[in-house]
Chain A
Amino acid sequence: MLKYVLKRILAVVPLVLLVTALCFALMHVIPGGPEGVLASNPKIKPDDLARIRSNFGLDRPLVVQYGLWLERVVFHGDFGLSYVTGEPVSEMIGKRLPATLELMGSAFLLSLLVALAVGVVSVLKNNTAIDSLFTVGSLAVISIPVFWLALMSMMLFSVRLGVLPSAGMFTVGTPFSIVDHLRHLVLPTLVLSLVLVASWSRYARETLLEAMSADHIDVARAKGLPGTIVVLRHALRNAAGPIVTVVAMSIPILFTGSVVVETVFSWPGMGRLFYEGLLRHDYTRLMGIVFVSSILVALFNLLADCLYGILDPRIRYAR
């Protein structure tokens, strides 16, 4: 197992290299650069632009720029300075990462619990009105754009009912209180979760139904165990492996979803940092975020594979 984990961690290295090289190339293929916004200002002379480009080192060949970036990251753990704010990128990410992880974590937990509950109920009430309702509901949620859901929830809970704040992480100007913070967390978490719940619960339903057709389930039933116990104790265990895989594979969706949700709810997380960096062609910032996100995604996938082995003893890791 340990060997397997080490091997997998090593495999992350070429992956991250590939992802960052690809991103770097793609960013530079797009016309415009960190100084591009300045270029549209008639007051700024071409000499000014040339001076700023050369101060940034943007006049060097691309391969050299990438090599320098990689060297700094690998040997010094330094993501460089943002072209736009002049701050160290690692500091910028450090300030924003906790907010993103908090939002993703709460959305992840909520989604998992609700999706499993919905899946179990769907199986227990298979082919009843409730099951159909869940099916239609999930389909509807999957089809609705996230930003629309976000705006509608704001209109309902903040404008119409006036029970929840519409945006931000806490009420500005008041001393920090955990209750106030949690109130701000409710809407973005709900919206980010809804989409995941919709797809995960569909998947949970299918795998559970499949597991229910196994022989040992018939045995459990024959022993006279109630339906709920059969599903929770016997079917869920078998279905857990595939569900974990699907859940882990959705982590990147959480990352992209958080870009949208953070922007609409002005949640000060990494998603917004990325979005704003994209608008300004802030290469160093984008590279830093891509680097951190790709490592996080790879780690979550590794974690899922390990869990799979623990949950399903039939899986053994190759030596």
Chain B
Amino acid sequence: MKDPSSQTQLLGMRLFAMASLIYLLGLTGCGSEPQSNDSAKTGVAAAVSDGQPRRGGRVVIGLQQEPERLNEILSATATNNLIGNLIFSRFVKYDDQLQLIPDLIETIPTVDNGGISSDHLTYTYTLVAGARWHDGTPLTSADVKFTYDVIMHPEVNAESREGWDAIESVETPDSRTVVFRLKHTFPDFVSETFFDEPVLPRHLLLAELGAPFNISKFHHQPVGSGPFVLDEWVPGSHIVVKRNDDYYGEGPYLDEIVLKFIPDENTLLVQLKTGEIDIYDNADVSFLDQLKVVPGTVVHLTPTMMYEHIDFNLENEILKDKRIRQALVHATDKKTISELVYGGLVEIAHLDEYPTSKYYNEEAASRRVFNPLEARRLLRSAGWVDEDGDGILEKNGRKLSLRISTTAGRINREQTQLVLQRQYRDVGVDLQIRNHNSTVLYGSYEENGILKRGKFDLALYAWLSSPEPATKEDLYSTNTIPPKGQNHPRIRHEELTGLLAEGANEIDDARRVAVYHAITDILVEEAPVIPLFWYTAVDVCSERLKNYRPNPTQSSDTWNAHTWYLTDQSPPPRG
């Protein structure tokens, strides 16, 4: 049996826990690079549609996680996003080129088209014509207002109210127009509102507004307005959705999509090989060589927004000297980690900002180079020398020994620790490994979590970055040290705190970029964190399926499922 702390289950947990963080904007050039497994085919398989879409057929997706309930307001997990796309409608989503596109609204509101007022306090949306709930009732602006009431209700366990708490009032002048008036400016309003929240049917849920909403049966038999209608949910086994012939957008072409829940990744691999599933979503990277040779399938490699990093605990006696932290940045050879542990399948990260982002500070990144000589010089200047000749530095009789913690059982992370151990020893730093179960490491403050309580020296884990970097305030501000936020390194820096607050409320684009460049400068100088690399997502799909275009954002791989179609509708031969 796989230990509950085994790597991918937990990667899955982490992924869906953090997935709520991704909301990308303005990023380009991250499209997927599909690799065909059909040796007869030359070149790269077409990831875009070729020929006319055909109606009919069934696609089976294998998923490791089963949703607890189909409601992203209560839990915006990656699985919920993936299935929510099929059943519900949103205002906006990202396409696979990371462009914000409209779903239930006619156009994305901007200042130019009048959707956003010049003071950035009023947002006006027009719903598409012809949208209906799966029971035939028309979808109106009243449903939108109702969903807002649900999210803000004190007894509803809404996971996050980010953006929603900036709203002062919601007005519905007619059945297709919604006007949001804000209390204060919120630069990410358009990309945040009804992005990972579905519009809910007022006529079915009005009676349950409040505490009953949390336990409503609706979350197990939802009625949405999206391209597919929920047909069957057998707990522990599968969900079947069927085509919504009344859909307001393009398609859908497939008769039905089956989502099969298979907790064990090895079993998922077997099911792909036998043709029992058509799509293996978010496959384990270590399976890549095997996946590449499954006949009749295409492997998609998509760079993600999730980055692995090391947090320093600035309250540690040794680490509160920033020269030590800078030295360890220079002692970390990320290229070797990428090659030894991940087979080169990850992209090295120098900053917590994605390299193609407009907020990326090239100059600051260039200062973060692997340079063991510089590391040794910094350590010496901080007063650490090897007095007894054992290769480990000392100061006032104390050895330069630190503990690194990560999620126990995640093999890749444990291997990374071993590589780091050797790299740091080369510059005279002793690294001890002290790992914890993921629920212990990530546990809340009340539950004595390791990160939240600061019971670590160095911590190795992942965050999901966001192209609009407002959430950084929660990671580095003096005001967000746990339990008040997620500043796990416990960095206390007055100028940084001020800049983070400024950046989060700045509407002017150029000024915002300048603020975040200044923030990055401070982060590189103070080095509370070492970013290591960006993860790559592996998805495999049957080559019979066209228009499958994996999406690195929270809009998830089913963002365009209504345009999917099969070239060959007979199931593939087994074996």
Contact = CB atoms under 8 A, between A and B. Distances in A.
B232 to A, nearest CB: 9
A165 B260 CA distance: 14
Contacts of B483: 46
Contacts of B2: 147, 263
B266 interface: yes
B425 interface: no
Given A32-B443, A46-B483, A276 B263 contact: yes
Given A31-B440, A41-B20, A162 B235 contact: no
A168 B220 CA distance: 21
A280 B1 contact: no
Contacts of A265: 267
A259 B439 contact: no
A314 interface: no
Contacts of B204: none
B439 A269 contact: no
A242 B2 CA distance: 33
Interface in A220-263: 259-260, 263
A205 B499 CA distance: 77
A203 B264 CA distance: 33
A16 B266 CA distance: 36
B552 to A, nearest CB: 17
Contact of B439 (A95, A267, A276, A281): A281
Contact of A278 (B4, B154, B155, B471): B4
Given A32-B443, A36-B447, A266-B237, A151 B159 contact: no
Contacts of B447: 31-33, 36
A172 B17 contact: no
A45 B256 CA distance: 38
Contacts of B4: 275, 278-279
Given A42-B486, A172-B238, A263-B263, A145 B440 contact: no
Given A46-B485, A266-B263, A31 B18 contact: no
A43 B469 CA distance: 12
Nearest to A39: B444
Interface in B155-180: 155, 157-162
Contacts of B66: 276
A283 to B, nearest CB: 12
A85 to B, nearest CB: 4
Contact of A264 (B75, B267, B276, B574): B267
Interface stretch (A49-57, A111-119, A125-133, A294-302): A49-57
B115 to A, nearest CB: 24
A155 B450 contact: no
A286 B474 CA distance: 33
Given A32-B442, A38-B17, A172-B237, A44 B160 contact: yes
Interface of A: 30-33, 35-46, 48-49, 51-53, 55-56, 59, 81-82, 84-87, 92, 95-96, 99, 145-147, 151, 154-155, 158-160, 162, 165-169, 172-173, 259-260, 263-269, 272-273, 275-276, 278-281
